[in-house]
A and B are shown apart, each in its own frame.
Chain A
Amino acid sequence: MSRIAARFAALRAEGRGAFIPFLEAFDPDRATSQAILDGMPAAGADLIEIGMPFSDPMADGPIIQEAGQRALKAGATLAGTLAMVRAFRAHETTIPVILMGYLNPILAYGAARFCTDAAAAGVDGLIIVDLPPEEADLLAADAARAGLAIIRLVAPTTDATRLPHVLDGAGGFVYYVSITGVTGTRSAAIADLAAAMPPIRRATDLPIAIGFGVKTPAQAAEAVGIADAAVVASALIETLAASLEDGRAGPDTVPRVLDQVRAIAQAIRAARR
């Protein structure tokens, strides 16, 4: 069983939803983001999503755009991101790691080599924002060979006739983009989220994670009340950004981000399923 499937099975047995915090690799520098990554399991992360910085993140709002800019300025590369995962795996072997990003840096690295190296580093799945099912064959065979799950995005605009097409070839879990919009802007109404789940449940047995617009512990608890996992990204980056001094990490940066991870994790653990 893959790390992702094993983790969701264990949480199902525990009767609770999963918390997936996000960090941007190398934001604001390699060492700080490594410390945040390494601290996340003890703070209550169930899976971890790592953003791969890209110069033109078209699906992201200002908060993650700026995180990417800081990271690139700090020397972020795909190879560096994989090195972070390798370092993490030296002491943590059960928590799944998902990389999220855009296609072009992967193509520049070489799709086949990237999948091989990512799997070897300990990555479990990929979310490629600008790789819809229509273009998925560009990466599908290489990812499958390496044992990486391709996690598909389902949006409010994905209708019932399109859904089977989107889920064909999906692995790991389904990432439900809860709003029509970019990351870190508005939040979906819980009633709309609840209404969006049944068609996806009918179309797949994969767990469903809700992302985009999940900011507070309360929203995360609500999300795992109707789905299997909640992704929190921009809210954590905002905390990180607020802790910076002249663009550099301060003594508070790592603890403040991890405190927030802890608070959200506690709310998710307290949520009844």
Chain B
Amino acid sequence: MTHFANSLRTGPDARGRFGGFGGRFVAETLMPLILEVEAAYRAARDDPGFQGELDRYLRDYVGRPSPLWLAERLSAALGGAKIYLKREDLNHTGAHKINSCMGQILLARRMGKTRIIAETGAGQHGVATATVCALFGLPCTIYMGAVDVERQKPNVFRMQLLGAEVRPVTSGAATLKDAMNEALRDWVAHVSDTYYLIGTVAGPHPYPMMVRDFQAVIGTETRAQILAAEGRLPDAAIACVGGGSNAMGLFHTFLDDEAVRLIGVEAAGRGLDTSEHAASLERGRPGVLHGNRTYLLQTADGQIEEAHSISAGLDYPGIGPEHAFLFEAGRVQYVGVTDDEALAAFQLCTRTEGIIPALETAHALAYLTTLAPEIGPGGVIVVNLSGRGDKDIFTVARHLKSGSPGGADLGDIL
């Protein structure tokens, strides 16, 4: 039962705004195309045939529903609430990203588009995009910052194996923000045949709404699974936030359930009070970038600053506009977790549950150290285990070798 006067689940409005955030801040050349994507998406959403087709692909190709796993040893290790892991890492391609890719590729086909472009940070969205493009025989170009190409080599190779062209982006800091700039430039130059498959709940309207809708399957399944397992809703649901798609996917169904605490974990990098983090909400200010108004890391002059995180997927100076809205509304609590805390949680999850989480996901897991004792025995927490960490083992090895206690052995092996 909701105690809110109005639902928080109704956004965005007709202009694509969640409160004061979102919108469509794109060049005129793209504007007609953005409107076309919106019209096509609304028509698809209302078409039972489209939903039926998507459901079939999600079940038989992606492998949904994903399990909700009671992590008993992790719960015991943290000495508090019962912890459930929503196993998005078990999806085909190893992360939640494919949920939205599948929806968007079906939409692109409906629109008659014959070429796909995407940006990627950690490479998970790039791999998922390359995968659905292989499945449907569409050529695809993935923009990836040159720095990320270097630190996510396994995913670069996977994309290439799948037939995608990976274009390293060297402008700016050569990370996710710059990859998104370059993808937008490509789209402007190829408006007639190309669909831009955005990987997160950001960008111009309708992307934040559409990607959220496609990811909302995470929360919808979780709600049914936790009711079946515990006979009640969880006390808290928690997810890491870069652009914020896995978090919106988990949170959306619970927004009007006031008793469910929702917690988004931003990357605090080397610390929130250093200049090296990716905490757009906790340390940023509202502004306009990549088609939407949202919280951004920026200078006093409005120049966008580089983010920092050990995790390439969280290394972005902005955040989806719906998160900005939920932050200001106070509905979701946003906290920061540092690189070191994420590394420790990465190891803890691996050794207690036999699950190697993505470094992005490890940020959400790290906050359990605070949250599980706080909620206490008898309580129930759901964590979105948004992706698997095979792609990160070299990064982790490098960091453990360089001096994190307890990690020397593993570091020496690699």
Q: Which residues of A contact B (CB under 8 A)?
A: 54-59, 61-62, 65, 72, 77-78, 102-109, 129-135, 152-159, 162, 166, 177, 180-182, 185
Q: How far is the CA of A207 from the CA of B95 in the complex (A)?
A: 53
In contact, A55 and B172 (Cβ under 8 angstroms): yes
In contact, B303 and A185 (Cβ under 8 angstroms): no
In contact, B290 and A78 (Cβ under 8 angstroms): no
In contact, A132 and B25 (Cβ under 8 angstroms): yes
B342 close to chain A: CB less than 8 A: no
In the complex where A130-B288, A157-B33 touch, is A58 in contact with B184 (Cβ < 8 A)? Answer: yes
Q: How far is the CA of A72 from the CA of B291 in the complex (A)?
A: 22
Nearest-neighbor residue (CB-CB) of A107 within chain B: B287
Beyond the given pairs A104-B287, A108-B298, A130-B27, 11 more chain A to chain B contacts, judged by CB atoms under 8 angstroms and listed by A's residue number, are: A56-B178, A56-B290, A58-B185, A78-B301, A108-B287, A153-B28, A155-B28, A159-B32, A180-B190, A181-B188, A182-B188
Contacts of A153 in B (CB 8 A): 27-29
In the complex where A56-B304, A65-B171, A129-B27 touch, is A158 in contact with B189 (Cβ < 8 A)? Answer: no
Q: How far is the CA of A158 from the CA of B26 in the complex (A)?
A: 13
Contacts of A133 in B (CB 8 A): 31
In contact, B181 and A104 (Cβ under 8 angstroms): no
Q: How far is the CA of A77 from the CA of B285 in the complex (A)?
A: 18
In contact, B32 and A105 (Cβ under 8 angstroms): no
In contact, B189 and A180 (Cβ under 8 angstroms): yes
> What 0/1 readout, one digit per residue, does chain B (146-189) give for beta carbons within 8 Å of chain A?
00000000000000000000000001100001100100110011
Nearest-neighbor residue (CB-CB) of A153 within chain B: B28
Contacts of B3 in A (CB 8 A): none
How far is the CB of B18 from the nearest CB of chain A, in Å? 15
In the complex where A58-B181, A103-B288, A134-B24 touch, is A180 in contact with B29 (Cβ < 8 A)? Answer: yes
Nearest-neighbor residue (CB-CB) of A154 within chain B: B28
In contact, B29 and A157 (Cβ under 8 angstroms): yes
B191 close to chain A: CB less than 8 A: yes
In the complex where A58-B27, A103-B288, A107-B288 touch, is A158 in contact with B32 (Cβ < 8 A)? Answer: yes
Q: How far is the CA of A154 from the CA of B31 in the complex (A)?
A: 10
By Cβ-Cβ distance, the 5 closest A-B pairs, closest first, are A108-B302, A105-B302, A155-B29, A181-B189, A153-B28
Contacts of B25 in A (CB 8 A): 103, 130-132, 135
In contact, A104 and B188 (Cβ under 8 angstroms): no
How far is the CB of A199 from the nearest CB of chain B, in Å? 14
Contacts of B301 in A (CB 8 A): 77-78, 105, 108-109
How far is the CB of B197 from the nearest CB of chain A, in Å? 17
B289 close to chain A: CB less than 8 A: yes
In contact, B28 and A132 (Cβ under 8 angstroms): yes
Nearest-neighbor residue (CB-CB) of A65 within chain B: B171
In contact, A58 and B28 (Cβ under 8 angstroms): no
Interface of chain B, main secondary structure? mixed
Q: How large is the interface on B (under 10, 10 to 19, 20 to 34, 35 or more residues)?
A: 35 or more
> What 0/1 readout, one digit per residue, does chain B (191-202) give for beta carbons within 8 Å of chain A?
110000000000
Nearest-neighbor residue (CB-CB) of A132 within chain B: B31
26 A–B contacts, CB within 8 A, in A order? A54-B302, A56-B181, A57-B181, A58-B27, A58-B184, A58-B185, A58-B290, A59-B29, A59-B188, A61-B185, A65-B171, A72-B303, A103-B288, A104-B288, A104-B296, A107-B286, A108-B301, A108-B302, A109-B302, A130-B291, A132-B25, A132-B26, A132-B31, A134-B31, A180-B191, A182-B189
Q: How far is the CA of A154 from the CA of B29 in the complex (A)?
A: 8
B23 close to chain A: CB less than 8 A: yes
Nearest-neighbor residue (CB-CB) of A62 within chain B: B171
Q: How far is the CA of A155 from the CA of B188 in the complex (A)?
A: 10
In contact, A158 and B298 (Cβ under 8 angstroms): no
How far is the CB of A188 from the nearest CB of chain B, in Å? 13
Nearest-neighbor residue (CB-CB) of A131 within chain B: B25
How far is the CB of A130 from the nearest CB of chain B, in Å? 5
Centre residue among A62, A103, A104, A162 by max chain B CB count within 10 A: A104
> What 0/1 readout, one digit per residue, does chain B (277-307) give for beta carbons within 8 Å of chain A?
0000000011111110000101111111000
How far is the CB of B245 from the nearest CB of chain A, in Å? 21
Contacts of A132 in B (CB 8 A): 24-28, 31
In contact, A56 and B188 (Cβ under 8 angstroms): no
In the complex where A55-B172, A130-B288 touch, is A182 in contact with B23 (Cβ < 8 A)? Answer: no
Q: How far is the CA of A254 from the CA of B318 in the complex (A)?
A: 38
In contact, A135 and B23 (Cβ under 8 angstroms): yes
How far is the CB of B239 from the nearest CB of chain A, in Å? 27
Contacts of A130 in B (CB 8 A): 25-27, 288, 291
In contact, B29 and A156 (Cβ under 8 angstroms): yes
Contacts of A78 in B (CB 8 A): 301-302
Q: How far is the CA of A156 from the CA of B33 in the complex (A)?
A: 12
Centre residue among B32, B291, B300 by max chain A CB count within 10 A: B32
Nearest-neighbor residue (CB-CB) of A177 within chain B: B29
In contact, B32 and A162 (Cβ under 8 angstroms): yes
Contacts of A103 in B (CB 8 A): 25, 288
Contacts of A54 in B (CB 8 A): 302-303
> What 0/1 readout, one digit per residue, does chain B (211-249) give for beta carbons within 8 Å of chain A?
000000000000000000000000000000000000000
A158 interface neighbour in B28, B188, B303, B304, Cβ under 8 Å: B28
In contact, A134 and B28 (Cβ under 8 angstroms): no
B302 interface neighbour in A107, A162, A182, Cβ under 8 Å: A107
Contacts of B31 in A (CB 8 A): 132-134, 155, 157-158, 162
